[in-house]
Amino acid sequence: MDRAELSTEQVLKRDIPWETYMTTKLISGTGLQLLRRYDNRAESVRAQLLDDDGPAYVQVFVNILRDIFKEETVEYVLALIDEMLTANPKRARLFHDKSLANEDTYEPFLRLLWKGNWFIQEKSCKILALIVSARPKTQDGVVANGENSKKKGTTINDVLKELVEWLCTQLKKPSHPTCGIPTAINCLASLLKEPVVRSSFVQADGVKLLIPLITPASTQQSIQLLYETCLCVWLLSYYEPAIEYLATSRALPRLVDVVRSSTKEKVVRVVVLTFRNLLSKGTFGAQMVDLGLPQIVQSLKAQAWSDEDLLEALNHLEDGLKDNIKKLSSFDKYKQEVLLGHLDWSPMHKDPLFWRDNVSCFEENDFQVLRVLITIMETSSDPRALAVACFDLSQFIQHHPAGRVIVNDLKAKERVMKLMNHDSAEVTKNALLCIQRLFLGAKYASFLQA
């Protein structure tokens, strides 16, 4: 069988010749006694032994991983530890017992991350993440303080940095084609709570490795991977250097796509909480408005969510986005957009309040902005810019008391008529709307919808 496909259950069916290891002095007599009592026993018996003598068992397991290199035995001991921690994750604290002060309990797992087959790597990663997370919060100095430490003077930061390096390697070039990335993301989702892990991950250029994984998911497995990836992004949204990277990546559009299409509450919740964290940072608020998030938030609020944190975050996001729309909807911003010729469907174009409040501003400098809009219609080769220019002209006709007369005086009708034969459906639709408003006049134009 391919060792990458081994299961813990299969490995635990093996008979390991512990006596042989004692004969060759690879395990002690005490170690053999402990193993005989523990090996092939019912879970309830093992649980009692761990309750009574847990640190001693941890020491035996760590010593075997440190001193014995036979693959079948290493796999077996990792399976024993994995089973013990899966049954009760709080047992990870046993690795930090005072009686193990002279042991570097991390070293064997760190070494096996790089040297073992996939079963060994995956189990070492999972176990290492659990025991690192369970360390006493005061233990941020030396891992092992005795003379016998294999890695004398190793700090917890060294352990975490090496673990992050392995995780980034998995995201770039997985050791296992289907399990490598999910394993790395699962581990990161628990470790990114640590400031040093966030720092190491950003320094290792890890943030960009998450972006391709932010994509709408359908299968149970892919939904879990998406959730844990978004959880990583949420944890990184508390860390300024990571936020700077997120701002220049495709993270935000991808997160918007996910929240627009996802029905899984835990996915929606973690993405919305990420939006809430990013809203006030840099240009994120403006980007969210441009990406249509206000409408998505309205739609999400109409759904029946059970999570109060999600509902609170949606309300917070809605208020924050409204503030951003107000900032975005100034005539100065609109004028700059037109004069630069960078027309796109930013929120102000379709906001009736913007046109009602600012239509008189178009009279400035002998209708300069209006003239530039008409020039864009004649000279631009960008269908989006042409469509937006036609739409804006129709809005001006509708909202300005003398809109029809002014637009006719500026000879815009002929240019709009030409665009009704454009190849782009978006352009022809908005050119038609503009012509209709031009012919119908303000009295009837309000009945026309874009």
pLDDT(259) > 80: yes
Ranges of beta strands (E only) in 71-147 are: none
CA Rg value for the chain = 31
Residue 143 is predicted with a pLDDT of: 44
pLDDT of residue 4: 55
Q: Which residue carries 């026993």 as its tokens? A: 41
Residue 329 DSSP label: T
| Average pLDDT value for residue range 10-35 | 93
Confidence class for position 145, pLDDT limits 50, 70, 90: very low
What pLDDT, in 10s, does the model give residues 117-139?
A: 999 999 999 999 999 999 987 65
Q: Output the pLDDT for position 151.
A: 43
Structural domains of the chain ordered from first start:
1-133+155-203 (no CATH), 207-327 (1.25.10.10), 329-444 (1.25.40.150)
Cα–Cα distances (Å) from 42 to 39, 45, 111, 123, in that order, read 9, 5, 31, 22
Give the mean pLDDT of 167-171: 97
Is pLDDT of 225 > 80? yes
Which pTM does this prediction carry? 0.72
Per cent of the chain over pLDDT 70 is 93
Three-state DSSP state, 200 = helix
Q: Say yes or no to pLDDT of 68 above 70.
A: yes
pLDDT in tens, 351-408: 888 898 889 889 988 999 999 999 999 999 999 999 999 999 999 999 999 999 999 9
Q: What is the DSSP letter of 157?
A: H
CA distances from 190 to 79, 100, 130, 195, 230 (A): 21, 25, 9, 12, 12
What integer pLDDT is reported at residue 237 of this predicted model? 97
Residue 142 has pLDDT above 50, yes or no: no
Q: What is the pLDDT of residue 445?
A: 45
Q: Which two tokens stand for residue 236?
A: 């990184």
Q: Once rounded to an integer, what is the mean pLDDT over residues 208-213?
A: 96
Whether the Cβ atoms of residue 263 and residue 304 lie closer than 8 Å to each other: no
3-state helix, strand, coil in the chain (%, to 5): 70, 0, 25
